[in-house]
Structure 1
Amino acid sequence: MKKYLLSSLLLLAAAAAQAGMGFTELPGLQDDGPVSVFYPSAGEDRPMQVGSYSLKVDKDGQPVRGNTRLVVISHGSGGSPWTYTDLARRLVADGFVVAFPLHRGDNARDPSSPGPDSWKQRPAEVSRAIDTVAREPRFAPLLSLDKVGMYGMSAGGHTALTLAGGRWSPALLTRHCEAHIAEDFQTCAGLTTRLTGGMLDGLKKTVVLAVIRQRFSDAAWQSHHDARIQAVVAGVPLAADFDMASLASPPVPLALITARQDRWLVPRFHSDVVLAACNKRCELLADLPDGGHGALLSPLPPAEAMSGLAKDLLLDPPGFDRGQLPALDDKISAFLRKHLLP
């Protein structure tokens, strides 16, 4: 306890000494997209506009030594780094360097290949993002990469569970959708359509199942191990296609965040099943009773950039208080500090 308290005090001193949150983009490896990096910097934050997002960062500023640890964040389907910048700022304030890979075919620039095709390649993209930061002369001397943290939300939560030791297969997703197409429809259909209670619902379920059976019949187990990743947080993860026995005793500390009003990934088919399988080996970091699927996005994507269905699934349900998110970010950072710092 004394050692952890001392580490925390030193961390607070380092955070107080830094002036800003640096931001830079590094070219990815193996034709990956750019890796966005946020980090403790020596300069002052200045306004930066990225599309509809207004940020305050020290763009390409001089990095300063923080707590020597890297955290990789895996964005959700069709996502980008910009909806996780509040969490990134909390982590940077606590001394972390934060890296975002842009997942190929499943990001805001290119949403062409969501689903299992993306999920198969995402964990390796996380590993290559670590390699990218490790090769960058500005960051390599400031980091110890034997203990890297991982946070992922939604499809990024699926990536996080894989990197926490889970194995999954597309065939298990098909089996899940065959059993629960009505109760967990958006997991199976994504943003293609929704059930309305009308006369076309039966046809929609039939078509969605036909497509899934055709595309996702592969029963081969998918997994990925990176020994550098030593603590994982999965926020509202897609998890119905996992072999839960593989998550019963994760080799690294694993925490989950759930949102009870999530209608895209209904908790009882996803995070709740992981927590039941994991039992005492996983930590429920937070349960948001009024939170929807987009509760962990901060800032939220602009409403005008979303389809009607995406708005319905991602915008906050009535009664959800975004004022609780800074405390949630504190919990995420505290979990990672606890398991990654000396």
Structure 2
Amino acid sequence: MWFTRFILIAAFSLTASLPQAAGLKLFEVPADDNGPALRVIEWSPCVSPPEEINLGPFRLPAVRNCPISGDKLPLIVISHGFGGTFLSHHDTAESLADSGFIVVALNHPDDTASNETKARNLSALVSRPTDIKRLIDFMLGSSSSAAQIDPQRIGFYGFSRGGYTGLVLAGANPDFQELRSVCQHPTGAACDRISQAALPKAPLTHDPRIRAFVIADPLSNVFHTTDSLKAVIAPVQLWSSQRGGDGVSPENLATVARNLPVKPELHVVPNSGHFAFLTICPPELAKSVPEFCIDNAGFDRTVFHKEFNAQVLAFFREKLSGADQP
């Protein structure tokens, strides 16, 4: 299967009209009655040779504000994990943009890395799906890219809490009674139940405009029954680390895979921990936060991400196919 997909992707890459680099643009979705302003980064197809753009510790191969190459393009929205940022999965975004997708990633205001005051606020479990809906509304309405997006070809990629976000958007209804606090445990599993007073109580946002979901190591203990997942009918590519961590359990994810009404495309990544899905760390980041950057002995994150990005691309190509497929 992997070899076949590799050949298909290679064939697409030989098409003369395909972009040569990812265009890069930063902007804000304005605050409204449903939430604060959202900081967003957009990657898009670009025909110019890439430059090196510095954003914090990251060096991105892209072209600032490059005119978008193509029309009726699919849109992919990326949701980071707890305490992450819109750059947490930039290599995946670049891979998709280089191949003809418009990709947007946002900083979720309630639990992005820069928000220390709300770091443990469980309201993010409600606000996150709403953030994504607001971003899609903006991309299809007021954004400068709106005219070049095909609204029938929207996909989503989420990691950890971002994976939880994707399942909710797809129609899942979590049981917050199962939320537990993270404690000392060899696998990073969660232990004590969170108090009733702290549980989110606001209604959740679902978004049927999203036609395909890539979900990586999601917060999943809140989806432990078939009833909680019965409304998820969109195609799902589900990724699991073998060892879990940070409150994410491979066993809980396996339960989600069994209970989804439409069988997902399931991948279990051998010898991987939870943070293997984060982008490859630059040296200064690896030094300052090694727990997010250093993998198990014998696991090569760079090699894994090449395969991961290729399989994500193949999945979105298939599930978001259309007459004007890039």
Fold conserved (TM > 0.5)? Answer: yes
Following TM superposition, by how much is the alpha carbon of 1:23 offset from its aligned partner in structure 2, in angstroms? 0.5
Corresponding residue of 2:171: 165
Contact 1:153 1:235 survives alignment (8 Å): yes
Question: Structure 2: how far apart are the matches of 1:14 and 1:68?
Answer: 16
Task: Choose which of 284, 299, 305 in structure 2 pairs with 1:325.
Answer: 305
Q: Deviations over 1:15-53 (max 9, x none)?
A: 754232101012113232221100001323111111111
Whichever of the two has the greater Rg, that structure is 1
Query: 5+ residue gaps in structure 1?
Result: 1-6, 189-204
Q: Deviations over 1:302-327 (max 9, x none)?
A: 12332xxxx33653111112213211
Matches within 5 A, 1:305-324: 305-306=288-289, 311-312=290-291, 315-322=294-301, 323-324=303-304
Corresponding residue of 2:5: none
Question: Structure 1: how far apart are the matches of 2:305 and 2:84?
Answer: 19
TM-score norm. by structure 2 comes to 0.84
Corresponding residue of 1:65: 70
Aligned residues: 306
Query: In the superposition, relative to structure 1, how do residues 57 and 181 fare at CA in structure 2: closer, same or farther (>3 Å)?
Result: closer
Question: Structure 2: how far apart are the matches of 1:64 and 1:292?
Answer: 37
Contact 1:11 1:95 survives alignment (8 Å): no
Query: In the superposition, relative to structure 1, how do residues 8 and 327 fare at CA in structure 2: closer, same or farther (>3 Å)?
Result: closer
Corresponding residue of 2:137: 131
Does 2:302 align with 1:297?
no
Letter in 2 for 1:341: S
Query: In the superposition, relative to structure 1, how do residues 289 and 233 fare at CA in structure 2: closer, same or farther (>3 Å)?
Result: same
Task: Choose which of 317, 321, 324 in structure 2 pairs with 1:337.
Answer: 317
Letter in 1 for 2:94: R
Q: Deviations over 1:244-300 (max 9, x none)?
A: 32224622111210011222244344311201212752220x211111111111223
Contact 1:184 1:266 survives alignment (8 Å): no
Q: Deviations over 1:150-169 (max 9, x none)?
A: 00001111101111211114
Question: Structure 2: how far apart are the matches of 1:267 and 1:257?
Answer: 12
Query: In the superposition, relative to structure 1, how do residues 250 and 327 fare at CA in structure 2: closer, same or farther (>3 Å)?
Result: same
Contact 2:229 2:261 survives alignment (8 Å): no
Matches within 5 A, 1:76-155: 76-114=81-119, 116-136=122-142, 138-155=144-161
Following TM superposition, by how much is the alpha carbon of 1:67 offset from its aligned partner in structure 2, in angstroms? 6.1
Matches within 5 A, 1:234-273: 234-242=215-223, 244=225, 245-248=227-230, 250-273=232-255
Contact 1:239 1:269 survives alignment (8 Å): no
Task: Choose which of 36, 43, 64 in structure 2 pairs with 1:38.
Answer: 43
Higher relative strand content: 2
Corresponding residue of 2:260: 278
Contact 2:220 2:248 survives alignment (8 Å): no
Letter in 2 for 1:163: L
Letter in 1 for 2:209: R
TM-score norm. by structure 1 comes to 0.80
What's the secondary structure of 2:195's corresponding residue? helix
Corresponding residue of 1:201: none
Following TM superposition, by how much is the alpha carbon of 1:215 offset from its aligned partner in structure 2, in angstroms? 4.6
Higher relative helix content: 1
Contact 1:46 1:58 survives alignment (8 Å): yes
- After TM superposition, the structure 1 stretch with the greater mean CA deviation from structure 2, 12-21 or 318-327, is 12-21
Letter in 1 for 2:20: A
Letter in 2 for 1:33: L
Question: Structure 1: how far apart are the matches of 2:296 and 2:278?
Answer: 14
Q: Deviations over 1:214-271 (max 9, x none)?
A: 65345x5853221210111110101112253222462211121001122224434431
What's the secondary structure of 1:39's corresponding residue? strand
- After TM superposition, the structure 1 stretch with the greater mean CA deviation from structure 2, 9-18 or 137-146, is 9-18
Letter in 1 for 2:170: A
Letter in 2 for 1:86: D
Contact 1:67 1:94 survives alignment (8 Å): no
> Root-mean-square deviation (CA), in Å?
2.8
Question: Structure 2: how far apart are the matches of 1:112 and 1:252?
Answer: 35
Corresponding residue of 1:28: 29
